[in-house]
Amino acid sequence: MPSSIQNPHFLLRRVHSLLGVVPVGAFLVFHLWENSQSRFGAEHFNTEVVGALAGLNYLPFIEIGLIALPLVFHAVYGLAIVGGSRAEPLRYPYLRNRLYWLQRLSGIGLLVFILLHVGMTRIAGLVDPAIHADLFGHMRAALANPWVFGFYLIGLWLAVVHFANGLGTAAISWGLTASAAAQRRFGWLCAGVGLLLGAIGTHGLIGYLIAPAGAAL
């Protein structure tokens, strides 16, 4: 009997890595792009970004079925992987081992950030519709606090690092980069993708603070 059938974790790990890329990773890229629209100001952001998304057909199905549930599975199984891990980054200080632990630690920090971020935005908007009506103003007021801005900046880069490193490990898991040379080359590509996404996300956070209402930067 094939080992993949005998060991259910073989399949679960591949599903875990796949969901980390699509749809969770794809949503991260989209979310960073839409938040970068903060540079155009409050009117554009609230109307063209928040308003346009609110008008999508089957939005609850998209949010729950294509984003929330895959994210929950990815997070829960990721925590299970962390709990079963026995690697020692200080005893075995080679790069792959350090990246393995960076992925696990960034995932834990990212989970905390996502829970607080969703609570401050999506859940708060359900409780107080005025927040959803002016999400730009809500984020601008929150990010004006240096502690909140720092928290969001750390959360943003945790997400970017986790995604970029996860692309590399997913490629290995799915046999797309079999050789060490292919893994190194793809690793540099993933690092470039991460830096680009981090720059877009950071620009989006700054945009909330300095974009005049209705004006582009």
* 67 or 212, higher pLDDT: 67
142-163 tens-digit pLDDT: 999 999 999 999 999 999 999 9
Residue position matching structure tokens 């890229």: 29
Distances (CA, A) of 145 to 39, 121, 134, 135, 216: 19, 16, 18, 16, 23
* 55 or 144, higher pLDDT: 144
Q: What integer pLDDT is reported at residue 92 of this predicted model?
A: 57
Tell whether the model's pLDDT for residue 192 goes beyond 50: yes
Q: What is the dihedral angle through the alpha carbons of 63, 67, 68, 69, rounded to the nearest 10 degrees?
A: 120
Q: What integer pLDDT is reported at residue 86 of this predicted model?
A: 64
Tell whether the model's pLDDT for residue 216 goes beyond 50: no
> Cβ neighbours of residue 179 under 8 Å, at least 6 residues apart?
none
Radius of gyration from C-alpha coordinates of the chain: 19
64-106 tens-digit pLDDT: 999 999 999 999 999 998 887 665 655 556 777 788 889 999 9
By CB atoms closer than 10 A (0-12, 13-18, 19+), residue 11 is exposed
* 12 or 213, higher pLDDT: 12
Phi, psi of 153 (to 5 degrees): -65, -45
- Domains recognised in the chain with CATH numbers: 3-210 (1.20.1300.10)
Tell whether the model's pLDDT for residue 217 goes beyond 50: no
Q: What integer pLDDT is reported at residue 120 of this predicted model?
A: 95
Share of the chain above pLDDT 90, in %: 72
Q: What integer pLDDT is reported at residue 98 of this predicted model?
A: 83
Query: Buried b / exposed e across 169-179, counting CB within 10 Å, b at 16+?
Result: bbbbbeeebee
* 216 or 109, higher pLDDT: 109
Q: Are 149 and 202 in contact (CB under 8 A)?
A: no
* 103 or 56, higher pLDDT: 103
DSSP helix/strand/coil, 214: coil
What number is the average pLDDT over the span 175-180? 90
